[in-house]
Copies of this chain bind each other. A is one copy, B any other.
Amino acid sequence: MPARRRLDRGDLVTTALALVDQDGMAGLSIRRVAERHGASPMALYRYFPDKNGLDDAIAERLLSEVGLPEADGRAWYEQLRDLLEEVLAALRRHPHAVELVFTRILTSEPGLALAERVLALLADAGLSVERAAETGTQALCSLAALVLAEPGRAESREDEDSEAAARLKRASLLALSPRRYPHVVAAADALASCSSEDVFYRRGVDMIITGIRGMDPDPAPAAPASTGP
């Protein structure tokens, strides 16, 4: 892994993302990446302007792993579902890096390509340019939120025993007062961990698509007066 004399930017990003996958964001540092390449910390400043620049590069790498499906003739919502599922697959491969992606979609080439496709599909859906921008932002961020929210997700991979964590969480919920929190106690199992991650995510995408399809396309902002029964 450590390139001997000459450093390679791509290799550095690979190492950084691997570090995040292993130990979470807290495990990522310029010094640790440098160390893994047998270089001094300062060597990285030739390839990234600063720590934030390294974070940018990690987000870009993650987004570059999204396989954009070819546009085809199907309905916009079917194509959008496939697209969101591709994005979701990439996010799920790097759950600890998801928080980096939130604010970096429009500042990286692969993120822009993704945004372009989303906006195109929402235009097909009949949304105005402004509305498509708003809705697309919301859809992609809700998607990322699913990964951050997945019940039973561990903080870092070295926390290893995500099963043990889930059991502990379940126990703490079951220990609550059933008079005060009847629904929470009854749902302890489901709240502590997913019975099926795939079902959780499929339904999450469902909810997003359904939310978009079911909305008023472009209502008058405030007063519901002019058109009406």
Contact A123:B183 (CB < 8 A) given known A146-B138, A190-B134, A214-B213 = yes
Residues of B within 8 A of A116 (CB): 180-184
Residue contact A206 to B195, C-beta cutoff 8 Å:
no
Name the interface residues of A171-200: CB closer than 8 Å to any CB of B.
172-173, 176, 180-184, 186-187, 189-191, 194-195, 199-200
Q: CB within 8 A of A130: which of B145, B187, B208, B210? A: B187
**Per a CB cutoff under 8 Å, which of B102, B120, B134 touches A200?**
B134
* Residue pair A207, B200 in contact (C-beta under 8 Å): no
Within 8 A of B (CB), among A110-167: 112-113, 115-116, 119-120, 123, 129-130, 132-135, 137-138, 140-142, 144-146, 148-149, 151
B221→A112 contact, CB < 8 A: no
Number of A residues near B (Cβ < 8 Å) is: 60
Q: Name the residue among A102, A119, A138, A144 with the largest chain B CB count within 10 angstroms.
A: A138
Number of copies: 2
What residues of chain B lie closer than 8 Å to A189, measured between beta carbons?
Answer: 130
Complex interface: chain B residues within 8 A of A181 (CB): 112-113, 115-116
A18 at the interface (CB under 8 A from B): no
> Any chain B CB within 8 A of the CB of A2?
no
Which residue, A112, A134, A151, A216, has most C-beta atoms of chain B within 10 A? A134
Q: In the complex, what's the smallest C-beta–C-beta distance from A66 to chain B, in angstroms?
A: 16
Answer yes or no: A103 CB below 8 A from chain B CBs.
yes
Closest to A213 in B: B214
Whether A211 sits at the interface, judged by CB under 8 Å, is yes
* A133-B187 contact given A102-B149, A146-B141, A176-B112, CB 8 Å threshold: yes
| List of 4 A-B pairs having minimum Cβ-Cβ separation, nearest first | A211-B211, A133-B190, A141-B149, A119-B183
